[in-house]
Amino acid sequence: MKTIKTYIFLFTAFFLLGSCDKDFVEINTNPYAINEVEPGLLFANSQRLAHIGGWAGEHTIVQHFVNAYNSGATLGFNFNADIDGISNPQWDASYPDALKNLGQAVVLLGEDGAQSNLLSMIRIWKAQIFMGLVDHYGDVPYFNAGKAVTDGIFYPEYDDDAAIYDDLYTEITAALAALNPSGDFVSADLFYGTNGSVPSGDAATQVAKWKKLGNSLLLRLGMRYSKVNASLAESIVSEAVAGGVMTANADNAYLTYDGSLYSNGGNASLRNFSYFNYAAEPLVDQLKSTNDPRGKFIVASYDEPAAITDGVPDTVLANQFGVPVGVLSGTIAADIAMATYRGPKGGGLNYSQMNIYSVASPVAPRVFVTYAQTSLLLAEAAAMGWISGSAQDFYEDGIAADMQWYSQYPNSEVTASEIATYLSQPGVAFDAANALELINTQYWVVNISNGSEAFANFRRSGFPTLSRNDFDDSLLANGGDGFVRRMSYPDRESSANETNYSAAAAAMGGDVLTSRVFWDKP
């Protein structure tokens, strides 16, 4: 009897185990889970995540913007302070986010070449992101970056910034050569895909747009060499022009927002923390001195600076005043008699702020590479004799293109007559003897929506002519000239990747704000 019971038990156990395996996969699979990732969507996400600078960061360094409050979390570049949270955004948006997406997309694409256009777009966009990293920090992980999963490299070395730029040239040119107008259409592309400016399925037009974008990036890269290797700069610039750069605003690479589901996150703090939102004196003075018709869309004066609410701000340019750079809010507010400063206003300061209903609105487009930028770089190249064409024509076309672009901002439009009048203004009208300053000062204004590019070009060109921030002498140490020349590495790198971080810091002349990237020649 005991033996029979044993057999019955074993039979029942095997039966139950078999029943447990029946439909096991189906039962334990979430029908709503994402099991496969489309490489095109990863690419699109990298476009969405790419960094173009912040108001408290790059825009403050180049004196577009100022935060006059230096208490706690608001301390930053206006007081020459090296604050981790303000230096980190470019790094954080690139390595764990955008570049991680691009690396995974490349792995998924494999080597079959079926989506060669997508792969080429990824290579161009990856180069754009790494250009931003080098421009901000100098030496960064590049050749072994993003290989933790594929190669087990968890602590990548930092590569020489000049060597990275050499490879970026190779990547962009190779990707441009591989673009195929008869190849795959990348519908997910946020710039020129189905939801961008190109009809669905029109690969030829999309490829033509990417060729212009890639060559415009190549032009930008070439111009970075202008002071450290003029002959190389001329060669790369000439190659980019021959390949075909942007020729109209329709070529611009940018993102749009509806203000509801999707908003321009870079402008969120201006509305939510208006207490610290002020235009810098050099920017406002430039707009006023040249009667710039863009001015009313860039800066505004509000009834209550400490709590901007919906309403109609004062945008008359003559009524705008920028906050002096490097001056404490307490010093300004204490000047009730307005003997030196404009004193307080409501709960804030009696100065202009960014126009949150136009350039700084939640629906303002996010621009990466534009025809206006490109045309102004061409103007400088022509003035240097590196390319054919009229420097004046490129210069005026760049200004006009930027002003026409303002129709993309809410409540904004610059008329043709305003453009014509502006181009003849003293301080704007083209003068060959003063060409480089005129061109690069306009580049500074054009990049009011791209702080990263404004920061890079200010260091490269030396224009506009800004007075250094003399809040203290910290930026005069280590051979500094009083300006922030680079951003520091994230603090966590000194512990998470200590050996490689220390080597990079030593190679850069110290992980400090006064060190220079390779193309930033004194």
| pLDDT, mean over the chain | 92
Residue 349 predicted with pLDDT over 80 = yes
- Residue 204 is part of a domain; what is its CATH number? 1.25.40.390
* Domains in the chain, number: 2
Give pLDDT, residue 1: 45
Confidence of residue 129 (pLDDT cuts 50, 70, 90): very high
Nearest-CA neighbor of 402 among 357, 434, 440, 447?
Answer: 447
| Within a domain: 219 | yes
- Same domain for 199 and 79? yes
User: Percentage of the chain surpassing pLDDT 90?
Assistant: 82
| Within a domain: 111 | yes
Q: Which range marks the domain in which residue 131 is found?
A: 39-256
| Within a domain: 15 | no
Alpha helices in 66-202 (DSSP H): 84-87, 89-93, 100-109, 116-137, 148-151, 161-178
User: What CA–CA distance (Å, rounded) separates 214 from 220?
Assistant: 10
- Same domain for 276 and 232? no
Alpha helices in 388-450 (DSSP H): 391-405, 416-423, 435-446
- Element holding 348 (H helix, E strand): strand 348-349
- Same domain for 332 and 204? no
- Same domain for 80 and 214? yes
Angstrom CA distances, 244 to 210, 238, 248, 480, stand at: 10, 10, 12, 39
- Same domain for 117 and 243? yes
| Within a domain: 61 | yes
Longest dimension (CA), the chain: 112
| Within a domain: 456 | no
Question: Which tens digits make up the pLDDT trace of 363-391?
Answer: 999 999 999 999 999 999 999 999 999 99
Give pairs for 187-195: CB < 8 Å, separation 24+. Answer: 187/40, 188/38, 188/40, 188/41, 188/43, 188/44, 189/40, 189/43, 189/44, 189/47, 189/121, 190/44, 190/47, 190/48, 190/255, 191/47, 191/253, 191/254, 191/255, 193/44
- Same domain for 272 and 245? no
Which residue, of 309, 339, 354, is where some domain finishes? 354
Question: Which tens digits make up the pLDDT trace of 397-437?
Answer: 999 999 999 999 998 999 999 999 999 999 999 999 999 99
- Same domain for 276 and 233? no
Which residue, of 231, 256, 281, is where some domain finishes? 256
Name the DSSP class of 354.
E
| Within a domain: 272 | yes
- Same domain for 231 and 295? no
Give pLDDT, residue 26: 54
Question: pTM of the predicted model, to two decimals?
Answer: 0.92
- Element holding 369 (H helix, E strand): strand 366-369
CB-count burial class (<10 Å; 0-12, 13-18, 19+) for 26:
exposed
Give yes or no for a contact between 456 and 224, defined as CB atoms under 8 angstroms apart. Answer: yes
- Same domain for 53 and 180? yes
Give yes or no for a contact between 467 and 452, defined as CB atoms under 8 angstroms apart. Answer: no
- Same domain for 202 and 286? no
Give pLDDT, residue 274: 77
Question: Which tens digits make up the pLDDT trace of 217-236?
Answer: 999 999 999 999 999 999 99
Question: Which tens digits make up the pLDDT trace of 270-300?
Answer: 887 777 899 999 999 999 999 999 999 999 9
Give pLDDT, residue 17: 47
- Same domain for 203 and 345? no
Alpha helices in 252-302 (DSSP H): 268-272, 281-289, 295-298
Residue 32 predicted with pLDDT over 80 = no
- Element holding 495 (H helix, E strand): helix 493-496
506 alpha carbon, distance to own chain's centre: 27
Give pLDDT, residue 9: 46
- Same domain for 200 and 123? yes
Give yes or no for a contact between 497 and 100, defined as CB atoms under 8 angstroms apart. Answer: no
| Within a domain: 436 | no
Structure tokens at 234: 């001329």
Q: List the end-to-end C-alpha distance of the chain, in Å, as a whole number.
A: 98
| Within a domain: 395 | no
Give pLDDT, residue 6: 47
Give pLDDT, residue 388: 98
